[in-house]
């Protein structure tokens, strides 16, 4: 019986995947219309450095200021977007905003799909990653011999082997799940997205949290979305300043148990969606334990509900959607999952609320 259920669900997944492919085909036929697009920074502060930064290979530079802790944001706003809340997407560990763009096998990512569903979309590179840059002063000081090598950050640089099981492409490296939704034939393209993570350099609170909260205020209301390392960043941002945050979407991360009742009360005022994929306990090795993460988030969701909040745990296999990996926004059924998120936004973050806004 278990086997036939798996078969039926696999068929459903294949059908869902075909729908996505059709949506993808539609992409090349129907042009994308953009009312406004561009990029900007949120946050950032000046830091005085001592002059150990050589430029263009011509020796040490005089002391001066550099800017650190800024967050790069790239956006697209479709026509008529004032009817919907903007969605801010923040990537996970060892990744950049590439997470949300074209999938490793060349299909449409969530960024464009949300724009095609009339949402303004803001992609943020985490502070200390990608186009946000990072504070290089420690590395330069170690090279100059003024601080010991032990002060270098732990640079997280995940191997293919670690990614395979942490991202749940299969039970162990090189093996796949029969119903796996990740486009494993294109896994080499995913590996190219994996870039060194320098978050160990960051002060606390993480400037990405502060900048996400500030971005929501700047947008006069926004949905914040995080994934994995950044899964709980929407909530961390809300604990700093909830005033601009209209919804929080947290995808696959551990949820903290040590939150106080006042903190839960703050978070319970904002609609929350938590999403987890499949095979949480079916992988071996690697630093993540997704079954434990799931349990911690089940408890968190219950706690928010008990406090009167609108929180939902969307565990995909329980909804008949099987085989989703940790990189579910890149899975074959990624647009089906995007539709679930969009419907949740409509019903929970926008329902009965006037969202007519100016951007």
Contacts to a second copy from residues 186-215, by CB under 8 A: 188-189, 191-196, 200
168 touching a second copy, by CB under 8 A:
no
62 touching a second copy, by CB under 8 A:
yes
Q: Identify residues 130-149 at the interface with a second copy (CB under 8 A).
A: 130-134, 136-137, 139-140, 142-143, 145, 149
List beta partners, residue 67. 46
Rounded CA separation 203/69 (Å): 9
Rounded CA separation 208/216 (Å): 12
> Closest approach of Cβ 313 to a second copy, in Å?
22
Give the helix ranges, DSSP H, for 194-257: 207-218, 233-240
49 touching a second copy, by CB under 8 A:
yes
Q: Identify residues 221-240 at the interface with a second copy (CB under 8 A).
A: 229
253 touching a second copy, by CB under 8 A:
no
Helix (H) or strand (E) holding 305, with range, is: helix 290-306
Gyration radius from the chain CA atoms: 21
284 touching a second copy, by CB under 8 A:
no
> Closest approach of Cβ 241 to a second copy, in Å?
21
> Closest approach of Cβ 280 to a second copy, in Å?
16
8 touching a second copy, by CB under 8 A:
no
343 touching a second copy, by CB under 8 A:
no
Rounded CA separation 273/310 (Å): 9
If DSSP codes are grouped into helix, strand and coil, which group holds residue 135?
coil
Q: Identify residues 148-167 at the interface with a second copy (CB under 8 A).
A: 149-150, 152-162, 166
266 touching a second copy, by CB under 8 A:
no
Nearest-10 Cα torsion for 354, 355, 357, 359: 170
* Residue found by looking up tokens 């870039």 in the block: 195
C-alpha 184: how far from its chain's center? 20
- CB 203 within 8 Å of CB 37: no
Q: Of 209-217, 237-245, 286-294, 308-316, which segment contacts a second copy by CB under 8 A? A: 286-294
> Closest approach of Cβ 296 to a second copy, in Å?
15
């Amino acid at each position: 019986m278990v086997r036939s259920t798996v078969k039926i669900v696999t068929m459903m997944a294949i059908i869902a995947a075909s729908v996505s492919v059709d949506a993808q085909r539609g992409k090349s036929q129907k042009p994308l219309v953009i009312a406004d697009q561009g990029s900007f920074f949120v946050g950032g502060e000046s830091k005085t450095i001592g002059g150990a930064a050589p430029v263009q290979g011509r020796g040490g530079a005089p002391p001066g200021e550099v800017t650190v802790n800024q967050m790069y944001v790239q956006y697209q706003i479709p026509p008529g977007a004032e009817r919907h809340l903007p969605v801010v997407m923040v990537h996970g560990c060892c990744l950049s905003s590439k997470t949300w763009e074209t999938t490793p096998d060349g299909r449409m990512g969530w960024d464009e799909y949300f724009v095609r569903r009339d949402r303004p979309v803001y992609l943020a590179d985490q502070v200390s990653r990608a186009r946000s840059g990072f504070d290089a002063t420690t590395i330069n000081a170690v090279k100059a011999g003024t601080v010991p090598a032990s002060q270098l950050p732990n640079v997280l640089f995940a191997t293919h082997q670690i990614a395979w099981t942490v991202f749940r492409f299969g039970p162990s490296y090189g093996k796949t799940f029969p119903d796996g939704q990740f486009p494993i034939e294109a896994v080499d393209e995913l590996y190219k997205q994996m870039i060194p993570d320098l978050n160990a350099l960051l002060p606390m609170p993480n400037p990405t949290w502060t900048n996400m909260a500030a971005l929501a205020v700047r947008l006069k209301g926004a949905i914040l979305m995080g994934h994995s390392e950044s899964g709980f960043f929407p909530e961390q941002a809300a604990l700093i300043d909830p005033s601009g945050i209209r919804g929080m979407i947290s995808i696959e991360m551990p949820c903290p148990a040590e939150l106080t009742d006042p903190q839960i009360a703050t978070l319970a005022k904002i609609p929350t969606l938590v999403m987890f994929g499949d095979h949480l306990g079916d992988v071996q090795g690697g630093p993540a334990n997704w079954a434990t993460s799931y349990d911690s988030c089940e408890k968190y969701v219950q706690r928010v509900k008990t406090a009167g909040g609108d929180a939902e745990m969307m565990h995909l296999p329980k909804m008949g959607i099987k085989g989703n990996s940790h990189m579910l926004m890149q899975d074959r059924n990624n647009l089906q999952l995007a539709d679930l998120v969009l419907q949740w936004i409509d019903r929970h973050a926008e329902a009965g609320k006037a969202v007519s806004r100016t951007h």
